[in-house]
Amino acid sequence: MPIKVAFMQGSSCWGCHQSLLNLHLGLVPVLPELDIVYWPAVVDFKLSSLEARPDKSIDVGFYEGMLRTEHDVHNAKTMRAKCKLLIAFGTCACFGSVHGLANQWSREELLERKFETVESMGEPNDMVNKRDPELTPICESVVNLDRVVKIDAYMPGCPPRKENILGAVAFLIKKDPATMKRDTNVCATCKASPCLLEQGKLCWGSVTAGGCSLMCPGDNLTPCTGCFGKSDKPDAARAAKLKGMLLAKKVGPEDANLVSQFLLLYHGLPTQGSLYLAADPMRKLALGAKMEFTDDVVGASLKTLANNPNYQFSNSNVCGTCDRNGNMNKKMTQIKRNYEGVPDTGECFINQGYVCMGPMTQAGCGAICPNNGNSVCVGCYGPVFGVGEQGARGISTIASLADVDIDDIKSGILDPVGLFYRFTLAASEINKKVNDTHATGGETKQ
């Protein structure tokens, strides 16, 4: 059955929807799997039709844009109520994007500048007081989506690349392989002799759905790491043995890798760069978040990795996919503004004196700007996983790399907030207090 999907637009430039439409014929294979029930940017749906739907009657909601008006706040809350899964679609929704830079000024200062004193206005006028009272009130500040409602997944990018969007949609509609048999498990047809567990090796066949044709343990060496997902009829005795082994075992690097592989495959977690699930247990583990562990093999697998120095969350920054990475010498002997000179097409931008946000930016775009555009990464995919403040990380990274006089830094970086916090100011800790007070009206998240 197709999944019910809704697309909402907050205050935004529509670029994320444009990126989705840029898929063109790439959308054809997935469209029959989607029942699009609300998409005002493309079809003339009325908001009342969304409001009239029963709560949680839509499978997946995509919310593009930041929240600047009370209408945006209402729309975000409506989407949260109607959708089972809500995705922050694009960097505006994830972090506020460039619009968040407006938070450096008060709402009154912004209105006065835009409608009264801006040079292109010609004669001074009184637009603010003449404003149509029917128009939605403007919030005191710009906020990103998760400051107002609970989010299930994040898809950054300004805009997200069309491949990221397709990957995320494919993940959401993925179907079980036709051969999968949840009513049995891998052990039921395993040819390993003796069982890997008897050899003291970890193997998750007991809790994994049967039907796979590879049967890894058959070679007596390779464990099953759960790619067919959950079995509804596990082998209880072997599952109990495995759980005991996991809890008793001292997990070294090799086993830690295996356990991570199992958790990733068994849960069918999306690969990095397209979609981040707020509930992703692997990310929570890596962040050291407080977690409840279930009393089963999955809980034991997570527990064995918690606080384990051998557990390495697989993560990368834009430099990881940048073709210039090999010659990055991590030293800046000058600071240049982006328009100064013509950058060398092979050399790392930082070596050349340009401030590139690649080191502090989450991978996922394929380093499209340095690789394809001979331009620096400006950080639109947001902070690298585990880094709260992309801007602060940027400032400290450049400060540690730059072997340059402080006055040259000051004259080369005229707008540090705009440079380092270009996409994330609204979501940053410095903005949190004002954001929470104004945009949510003091309410807690739904």
Shorter beta-carbon distance to ligand SF4: residue 276 or 381 = 381
Supply the Cα-derived Rg of the chain in whole angstroms. Answer: 25
| Residue 163 vs residues 63, 88, 169, 209, 313: alpha-carbon distances, Å | 18, 17, 10, 30, 23
Closest by CA to 313, choosing from 287, 286, 342, is 286
Q: Which is nearer to ligand SF4, 5 or 380 (CB)?
A: 380
What is the smallest separation between the CB atom of 262 and ligand SF4, expressed in angstroms? 12
Residue 133 CB, shortest distance to ligand SF4, in Å, is 28
Return the number of the residue (4 or 164) whose C-beta is nearest ligand SF4: 164
Instruction: Give the residue with the Cβ less far from ligand SF4, 291 or 385.
Output: 385
Report the residue number, 81 or 319, with the smaller CB distance to ligand SF4: 319
CB of 322 to ligand SF4, least distance (A): 3
Cβ-based nearer residue to ligand SF4, 187 or 426: 187
How near is the Cβ of 253 to ligand SF4 at its closest, in Å? 21
**C-beta of 61 vs 90, nearer to ligand SF4:** 90
* Upstream peptide bond of 159 is cis (omega within 30 degrees of 0): yes
What is the closest distance, in whole angstroms, from the C-beta atom of residue 312 to ligand SF4 in the complex? 21
Q: How far is the CB of 64 from ligand SF4 (least distance, A)?
A: 5
CA distance to 100, 334, 361, 371, per residue, from 327 (Å): 34, 17, 19, 14
DSSP string for residues in 178-198: TT-EEEEEGGGG---SS-TTT
- Strands of 103-151, DSSP E: 138-143
3-state secondary structure string across 227-245: CCCECCCCCHHHHHHHHHH
**CB nearer to ligand SF4: pick between 359 and 412:** 359
Nearer to ligand SF4, 50 or 158 (CB): 158
Residue type, 247: L
Distance (Å) of CA 79 to CA 5, 66, 85, 143? 11, 14, 9, 16
Q: Which residues are at the interface with ligand SF4 (CB under 6 A)?
A: 12-13, 15-16, 64-65, 90-92, 97, 158-159, 186-187, 190, 192, 195-197, 203, 205-206, 217, 224, 238, 318-319, 322, 324-325, 328, 348-350, 356, 358-359, 361, 365, 367-370, 377-381
Task: Give the per-residue SS3 of 315-370.
Answer: CCEHHHHCCCHHHCCCCECCCECCCCCCCCCCCCCCCCCECCCHHHEECCCCCHHH
How far apart are CB 185 and ligand SF4 at their closest, in Å? 8
Residue 330, C-beta contacts closer than 8 angstroms, at least 6 positions apart: 350, 401
Which is nearer to ligand SF4, 285 or 377 (by Cβ)? 377
Distance (Å, rounded) from C-alpha 334 to C-alpha 378?
Answer: 18
Task: Kindly state the smallest distance separating residue 240's Cβ from ligand SF4, in Å.
Answer: 12
Among 365, 345, 340, which residue's Cα sits nearest to residue 355?
340
SS3 content of the chain, % helix, strand, coil (to 5): 40, 15, 45
- Amino acid letter for position 338: N
Neighbours of 179 (CB within 10 A): 11
Residue 233 · residue 208 · CB < 8 Å: no
Distance, CA of 235 to CA of 232 (rounded, Å): 10
| Closest approach of ligand SF4 to the CB of residue 358, in Å | 2
- Minimum gap (Å) between residue 355 Cβ and ligand SF4: 9
Shortest reach from residue 93's CB to ligand SF4, in Å: 7
Residue whose CB is less far from ligand SF4, 169 or 328: 328
